[in-house]
Copies of this chain bind each other. A is one copy, B any other.
Amino acid sequence: MDEFDLIEEFFTRPARHAEVVLGVGDDAALLTLAGAANTLAVTTDTLIEGVHFLPSAPGFDVGYKALAVNVSDLAAMGACPLAFLLSLTLPAVDRRWLAGFRDGLFALADAVGLDLIGGDTVRGPLAVTITALGTVAPGTALRRDGARPGDRVYVSGLLGEAALGFFLRAGRLSLPPEFQESVLARLDRPWPRIHEGQALIGIASAAIDISDGLVADLGHILKASGVGARLDLRRLPLSDAYDAAFPTLGYDPALVFGDDYELCFTVPPERVPALAGVASRLMCGLHYIGDIVAGAGLTLHDGQGAYTPARAGYNHFDDAGSL
């Protein structure tokens, strides 16, 4: 049983309140209160020591990343950040670590405009759960279920950078010195694509953030939309650092490792000119990597034939292995 089956089997039920526009199963839930000018997007994510970060991770990085993964979910809905709640489980009070954690947390909160409005602190194994709230105009949020055959598939930024950072830190990869700082920064302090998500409103037909890997996350769009996709691996946006490691790594880390927090989204052909119009205003590139097709499932090709990655993506209750 994987974590998505678990959620579907045990925790998916129809909502009864009219305020609930979208419940379990997207990057964030959507609530529209009576009379409100905006819809509320709400998401929650947990980071656990030893699972999501090393026991040696600096407090700054843990605070930053715990918020970043939630902001990334708001970004994938096209929402504007509003506020967040923090539940912090600590084995003991280490003031120096806590000061770093707070600084990392608030550095990102200030950069994206999120107010800390509540939380809980308890004693236990180190873990951070954040719930983030954002706003989006009613009916405009980017969802997973809007992709249609003929739409183009895009990703923002670069893929596989977090994988490079992880392998480098684990001593399983050597990289030229000039690339090392950049890939570790992408792993530890990903920049959520909040401006890109908002710019895609009215343009993208579906969107998701790449937290579990492109194959798994695009798979969620395909399943929710009832469509398939065909990607050309030669179009994957890979950095010079990745190119340097490509003979060792091949495509898989860019496809299945996850932790990149880029956006994967689909755009109907008639809106591609509009996409080109907004792309020039964004900080990261938007890359056309393939097309939505009728049917189901994802096919990958590299110009020489079909390609199958070794595994599908990060999954907390899949014992098949971990990278």
Point out residues on A near B: beta carbons under 8 Å.
Answer: 1, 3, 6-7, 10-11, 13, 15-17, 19-20, 22-24, 26, 28-29, 31, 33-38, 40, 42-46, 48, 50-52, 82-83, 85-87, 89-90, 92-93, 95, 98-99, 101-102, 106, 113, 115-125, 127, 129, 131, 133, 135, 316-317
> Nearest CB to that of A110 among chain B residues?
B16
Q: Is the CB of B42 within 8 A of A117?
A: yes
Q: List 5 A-B contacts (CB under 8 A).
A: A11-B102, A44-B119, A46-B120, A48-B125, A50-B124
Q: Is the CB of A125 within 8 A of B123?
A: no
Q: A15-B83, A82-B17, A102-B10 are in contact. Are A120 and B45 (CB under 8 A)?
A: yes
Q: Is the CB of A131 within 8 A of B99?
A: no
Q: Is the CB of B42 within 8 A of A133?
A: yes
Find chain B residues with CB under 8 A from A3 CB: 121-122
Q: Is the CB of A116 within 8 A of B42?
A: no
Q: Is the CB of B48 within 8 A of A124?
A: yes
Instruction: Given contact pairs A15-B83, A46-B120, enumerate 4 new A-B contacts (beta carbons under 8 Å).
Output: A10-B101, A10-B102, A17-B83, A120-B129
Residue of A1, A23, A116 contacting most chain B CB atoms (<10 Å): A116
Find chain B residues with CB under 8 A from A24 CB: 116-119
